[in-house]
Amino acid sequence: MTLIAEEWEKVIPTTILHCWIKSTILPVPMTATLVSSRGGYRLGLTTVESDVDEAIELMQGTVIEREVIGGESGCDARESVGAWL
């Protein structure tokens, strides 16, 4: 239980907000309000682009690559992996 508490402390509010928005659980107006009131949340996700590149590189030659990326071009692969993350 201590490990869970320690790891939870490392989660930043931007990550939680991003998860709620990506989940599509919230009504559209509520999601729009969150995005507009916390518009800077996307700035906190700028590392996602480099994470996507790293994920694509690490997945090369794996079953996950075939399932997530398939035979898509580099640009499409980045979009697929970004959505998957």
> Is 12 found in the same domain as 36?
yes
| 67 and 82 co-located in one domain | yes
Same domain, 1 and 37: yes
pLDDT of residue 46: 54
Number of domains in the chain: 2
Same domain, 69 and 33: no
Residue 54 and residue 77 share a domain:
yes
Same domain, residue pair 62 and 77: yes
pLDDT average, residue stretch 51-80 = 74
Residues 58 and 84 in one domain: yes
Q: pLDDT tens, 5-31? A: 888 888 888 788 888 888 888 888 888
* Tokens coding 62: 């794996």
Measured in whole angstroms, the distance separating CA 12 from the mean position of its chain's CA atoms is: 13
Same domain, 35 and 53: no
Range(s) of the domain holding residue 21: 1-41
| pLDDT (0 to 100) of residue 84 | 65
Give the tens place of pLDDT for each residue, 32-62.
888 777 766 555 555 667 777 777 788 788 8
* Number of neighbours of residue 55 by Cβ within 10 angstroms: 20
Q: What is the pTM for the complete model shown? A: 0.41
Do 83 and 54 lie in one domain? The reply is yes
How many Å apart are CA 37 and CA 50, to the nearest integer? 26
Helix/strand/coil for 2: helix
CA 32 – CA 35 distance, rounded (Å): 5
